[in-house]
Structure 1
Amino acid sequence: MRRLFPLAVVTTAAALVLAACSTLSSAAPEGSASARGELTAVTVGVIPIVDVAPIYLGVETGIFEKHGLDVTLELAEGGAAIVPAVADGTYQFGFSNVTSLLTASSKGLPLKVVAPGDFSTGQPGRDFSGVVTSAGSGIEGAAGLVGKTVAVNSLKNIGDTTVRAVVDAAGGDPQAVEFVEMGFPDMPAAVVSGQVDAAWVVEPHLTRAVDQGARIISSNFVETDPNLLVAAYFTSDKMIAEDPQTVEAFTAAIQEALTYATDHPDETRAILDTYTEIDPVVRSVMVMPRFAPDLDTPYLQVVADLGLKYGMFEQPVDVTRLLP
């Protein structure tokens, strides 16, 4: 998979800003691990998208330092690059969508999810993911996608499986939808021009598409499952075996960062400026994902079942293998 939710184009200059941001932190509380000079250096593979705002916020506010960690955030184009880098120890932790993690686990890679990344909002018509079509397409709902072309950023992943799921639920034939691969930034214009009949888009490109005249006909994440777990933070079995204290510290820190992001939505939006190039007007109105610290087996099982039903996996995936 070449792309995973590439929600913003990051230039070389922005990458330099991001690198600087990765080392920012507030003063550590007296008596904390960082105050005693006992920080453990860890590298986390991330993608320059809105989904990872909490970890940047956690670095900037000193949450990770408080837990004794000196975090370096390394940019990658997608989970396809992050997964093997965590498996071989290049990164101690990483961020990837759940489908990619399930695929890796089904192929025998020794990985474990340590915390959620982000969830759907649970609000139809008000989610950070949606299927859009042009105003004159005549497509009024998910069932209308039968026989149509729908753009997704990567084939056989969470986009097309959730679109198939909502078409199925609406009484249409999920196998009669033609998916084409396209980058998110190109989708709004492709929909408005009629190059494709519809597109699965995520923020900030969802807001851009609507601004250009597209209509949201399905909140595919929410309609698939109101609590859909989209992505997660993970590590390797080897890391857990060799340095369980660091894994525990990272898990506690990212959970705290997720909670902080939820409680401070304005700060969460503002941190996007440090590692993305989203238009300020779009950033102020677009829908953010839901962030929460809780991780449970059913969250992974939903995506695993979708993948099996719609041909992503040939055999059932044991989701417990991904849980520590």
Structure 2
Amino acid sequence: MRRILAATAVVLLISTAACTDKDDEAAGAGATTKVTVGVIPIIDVAPIYLGKHKGFFARRGIDLKLSPEQGGAPIVEGVLGGKYQFGFSNVTSLLAAQSGGAPLKAVAAGVSSNGRPGRDFSAIVVGDNSPIRSARELGGKSIAVNTLKNLGDTTVRQSVRRAGGKADNLRFTAMPFPDMPGALQSGKVDAAWVVEPTLSAVLTQGGRVLASNFVDTAPDLTVALYFTSQGTVTAKSKLVADFTEAIRESLRYAAAHPGEVRDIVGTYTQINDTVRIAMILPTWPEDINRNSIARVAALGERDGIFKKAPAIEQLLP
């Protein structure tokens, strides 16, 4: 990962230095710009799908394509390598990349915890027949997360600590969110960290919530951000401004239209009507909770995820 970050950073700096104001001139002349954004097919990104459907991007000259990935880390690599112009990623992936020297810049808030213990859109869950009754009992157990050494690890550990358990011997297993309900049912893993719509899929199968890991980590946690490369910020300032405006409009729209959020999620994930109706929604504030990101950074340092302390203000808008 470090070699990839270093190499792609050099390529980006060289290539973007060669760009001129032609990109901004073309955008200003009413040209349509093709933009690909790396996303994770979970409820978090419902606003950008709604924004595309409602024409918020098209009205700003952006021909938007959304490309699904399993987690934030491959999206970061995709943006650094030029595969994506923008990406959606959890804050831990972004902080880790920034700490490693990657020239990234957040442009807008992505999604936040709703702050309700037991009713957040993210949770640590177990299957219906599990004997585990508390996050305190997870020591030594296998826990599914979508990617390793990332936001799932950090927040799950925090829930275990808050419950009075030992968080240094958890066994994490990486798998896509949609595979987790089956893994719990078959006993392949003892517990799983899930977000919607996978959370409701587990609950409708009789699963149970052990803890709300985002709520345990920080009040109103900013979970993820939309971001780009620093080179894109420099070379394509108008595109970045237009994209940011469209995202902010999309966030406002999603917050005001929960019914449409439920409908749009069914267009990019495979869920039934029971799950769609039962989903617990996050919040989509336009403002970034900087204190919560500092908390995630501190926990990540404690868990050894970052090789040095991230420069948070260099990453944030």
TM-score (ref. length: structure 1): 0.82
Of residues 263, 280, 298, the one that matches 1:270 is: 263
Residues 6-155 of structure 1 aligned to structure 2 (within 5 Å): 37-155=30-148
Instruction: For residue 135 of structure 1, report the CA deviation from its aligned partner.
Output: 4.4
Letter in 1 for 2:206: G
Q: Would you tell me which structure has more helix in proportion to its own residues?
A: 2
- Mapped to 2, the partners of 1:85 and 1:306 lie a distance apart of 26
- Mapped to 1, the partners of 2:304 and 2:316 lie a distance apart of 23
Instruction: Give yes or no for contact 1:228–1:302 (8 Å, CA) kept in 2.
Output: no
The alignment yields a C-alpha RMSD, in angstroms, of: 2.2
Residues 137-176 of structure 1 aligned to structure 2 (within 5 Å): 137-176=130-169
Instruction: For residue 285 of structure 1, report the CA deviation from its aligned partner.
Output: 1.0
Instruction: Give yes or no for contact 2:221–2:292 (8 Å, CA) kept in 1.
Output: yes
Q: 1:93-124, CA deviations, whole angstroms, 9 ceiling, x for partnerless residues? A: 11112111111111111010111111111111
Letter in 1 for 2:137: G
Instruction: For residue 38 of structure 1, report the CA deviation from its aligned partner.
Output: 4.5
Instruction: For residue 70 of structure 1, report the CA deviation from its aligned partner.
Output: 2.8
Instruction: Give yes or no for contact 1:192–1:213 (8 Å, CA) kept in 2.
Output: no
Residue 312 of structure 2 corresponds to residue 322 of structure 1: no
Residues 167-246 of structure 1 aligned to structure 2 (within 5 Å): 167-246=160-239
- Mapped to 2, the partners of 1:195 and 1:307 lie a distance apart of 27
Instruction: Give yes or no for contact 1:146–1:173 (8 Å, CA) kept in 2.
Output: yes
2:15 maps to none
Unpaired segments ≥5 residues, structure 2: 2-26
Instruction: Give yes or no for contact 1:123–1:226 (8 Å, CA) kept in 2.
Output: no
Letter in 2 for 1:232: L
Instruction: For residue 222 of structure 1, report the CA deviation from its aligned partner.
Output: 1.3
Instruction: For residue 177 of structure 1, report the CA deviation from its aligned partner.
Output: 2.4
Distance 1:149 1:99, change over 3 A: same
Unpaired segments ≥5 residues, structure 1: 2-33
Instruction: For residue 139 of structure 1, report the CA deviation from its aligned partner.
Output: 2.5
Distance 1:177 1:273, change over 3 A: closer
TM-score (ref. length: structure 2): 0.84
Instruction: Give yes or no for contact 2:99–2:307 (8 Å, CA) kept in 1.
Output: no
1:14 maps to none
After superposing on structure 2, the runs of 4+ consecutive aligned residues of structure 1 that deviate more than 4 Å are none
Letter in 1 for 2:39: V
Identity of matched residues, %: 52
Q: 1:115-145, CA deviations, whole angstroms, 9 ceiling, x for partnerless residues? A: 1111111111111211112445343222122
Residue 291 of structure 2 corresponds to residue 298 of structure 1: yes
Distance 1:170 1:273, change over 3 A: closer
Secondary structure, in 3 states, of the residue corresponding to 2:226?
A: strand
